[in-house]
Structure 1
């Protein structure tokens, strides 16, 4: 007997409470959320994957205020339906690539308006998507949807809802969720930052981590314990004469909120992302300083991993780095080109 199995009923079951919180009509309202999640999981433009962020709410001003958004541009409207959702996302996704702009879907009285708005670009503040996590219980109901890697989608919603959907079928349970990968990386790279500035640098590195995890290229990052020397096998690379420390710049920006300092922090974030996107290993330390990039492990070391490894050179190098986690390294972050991500972090110190 022939049968067709679909994952949409399972998605609908998980997303129905969020649709109710938004005040959407049963059935079609849930399908709107399901369609948005499915579309975000597989956006491509001329063969290249896109990773837009989508926000769904009822009122534009309350949505912008909640996620620190500005400069909305409404682009169209129609009757709430799957066809309208597809049109909205197809029209807006290329505009929202790079996360400087986000897609907004406004639903109410059977109508759907769509457009884009500028996300919070403050380099030391949480992203617009993360801002949903900090909303009070009585805040207007909003839903955020974002890509967190190849065919992995994260959804935040009212009441602390925090869902992940893997459409690839290749997620590894030991790797944990993409948000856990991000959290471990951010915790390690800011572990020894002085406390008054630590929350701000956590936000800075979270922004970098999101783009690494959701990007279209592979990455390998080592976080050196600030009290340790770099392992000898990492000597082959481009090491800075002096560690690049953003503490003074960040402190001045926090005190004065000057445009020059803001642009400087944004530019450094872009520079770090480009370094991470290059071949080899990018090295930070647990005080949030950049030490080097384009680093490679000697072939003799890679040829002797601690355990049998399935994967290419980047995965084998990651396993070598993992052997140093808890010794000279505070963490190692791996992201494959096919979207798998993992972060090994040394146990927290008392």
Structure 2
């Protein structure tokens, strides 16, 4: 969904003392959301306007200066919504007219509760307007998120619409039956692959050598952990080695683990015997990977799902800094070095820049 400023309101800019013209794309967004709701079987002009407000507000949502990434869902039947999304223990917070102001109040009161995939925001269409609150979700790295469950819902008119910020100014508007729009706001770049597509590429590269019996578990784990990294405010670099490799001549500094950490073995152990101890190991490993990717340098993984090292640095050829085609700082130049090694030393390279752009290069 791409929008351009197209409406000019205000008096003649040449008239003395007249206010300046106003450019707005809001009506385009509302019209597009209205069409989306028609396809989802949830037509309503007030709902379209309110979801437009939800999209714009979530595009760079912050409380006390900290970015928040709540999942938000709208529907008509709370029981149906919870069954579809795997939600539990709903908590009613408030109610108000079907308006932008109610959406703003719902976010203010509920968004801080939705950090870390523990709780999601719901907006329920009722005769009085919107009733809103939160419901509990399962943040376990092997559990599908509510949005993942909505993505695989085959029924086109399932009665639920979800909104999630993918990165700054990039959002996903989703209903059942594969009905989806990616919304780009405030100059967000649209020429590259979408964040979910990039993360799928990276997750596939990391698990390319995983046995078929473990493959879906491993890919789901990496997709969910990597998505949380995408939502963070810092950049990240990942290099993926071929199977059985313990390092590369590219790496000149950093921390290589004495023994690669076999994530797939931890996931298989939990699958075979889902004890509290095995579940804790899975959660802790997800947090470990997120922490590694938050450090400076490159996180190094392997095509069999192992973590090899982190805080890794490579030597930049002097010629790279003078190439006009390389735009960006040290992280982007490092990605170019890694990308040039894909197909020889590496099987994949990934970058998430600090402004939210992401790219993955595979052999």
Give the conservation status (yes or no) of the 8 Å contact 2:247–2:256: no
- Determine the structure 1 residue equivalent to 2:57: 39
1:87-130 per-residue CA deviation (whole Å, 9 max, x = no partner) reads 10111111112222211111133421111122222322322211
Alignment equivalent of 1:70, drawn from 85, 88, 97: 88
Give the conservation status (yes or no) of the 8 Å contact 2:246–2:260: no
- Determine the structure 2 residue equivalent to 1:285: 302
- Determine the structure 2 residue equivalent to 1:147: 165
1:176-191 equivalences in 2 (<5 Å): 176-191=193-208
1:288-328 per-residue CA deviation (whole Å, 9 max, x = no partner) reads 11000000112446856877311110011011111011222
Alignment equivalent of 1:107, drawn from 106, 125, 131: 125
Give the conservation status (yes or no) of the 8 Å contact 1:238–1:295: yes
* 2:52 maps to 1:30: no
- Determine the structure 2 residue equivalent to 1:344: 361
Distance 1:129 1:268, change over 3 A: same
TM-score, with structure 2 as normaliser: 0.89
- Determine the structure 2 residue equivalent to 1:166: 184
Within 1, Cα distance between the matches of 2:361 and 2:148? Answer: 23
- Determine the structure 1 residue equivalent to 2:328: 311
- Determine the structure 2 residue equivalent to 1:261: 278
Give the conservation status (yes or no) of the 8 Å contact 1:306–1:319: no
User: Helix, strand or coil for the counterpart of 2:117?
Assistant: coil
After the TM superposition, which of the residue ranges 283-292 and 41-50 deviates more from structure 2?
Answer: 41-50
Distance 1:170 1:24, change over 3 A: closer
Deviation at 1:258, TM superposition (A): 1.9
RMSD: 2.1
After the TM superposition, which of the residue ranges 208-217 and 131-140 deviates more from structure 2?
Answer: 131-140
After the TM superposition, which of the residue ranges 303-312 and 58-67 deviates more from structure 2?
Answer: 303-312
Give the conservation status (yes or no) of the 8 Å contact 1:123–1:204: yes
* 2:69 maps to 1:51: yes
* 2:226 maps to 1:205: no
Within 1, Cα distance between the matches of 2:322 and 2:204? Answer: 26
Within 2, Cα distance between the matches of 1:262 and 1:248? Answer: 13
User: Helix, strand or coil for the counterpart of 2:44?
Assistant: coil
* 2:232 maps to 1:215: yes
1:23-61 per-residue CA deviation (whole Å, 9 max, x = no partner) reads 655321211111111111021112222111111122222
Deviation at 1:227, TM superposition (A): 5.0
The structure having more radius of gyration, on CA atoms, is 2
Deviation at 1:236, TM superposition (A): 1.2
Q: Which runs of 5+ in 1 are unaligned?
A: none
Deviation at 1:252, TM superposition (A): 2.4
User: Helix, strand or coil for the counterpart of 2:177?
Assistant: helix
- Determine the structure 2 residue equivalent to 1:121: 139
Q: Which runs of 5+ in 2 are unaligned?
A: 1-11, 14-20
Within 2, Cα distance between the matches of 1:197 and 1:168? Answer: 41
Within 1, Cα distance between the matches of 2:168 and 2:43? Answer: 31
Give the conservation status (yes or no) of the 8 Å contact 1:125–1:200: no
- TM superposition outliers: structure 1 runs of 4+ over 4 Å: 21-25, 299-307
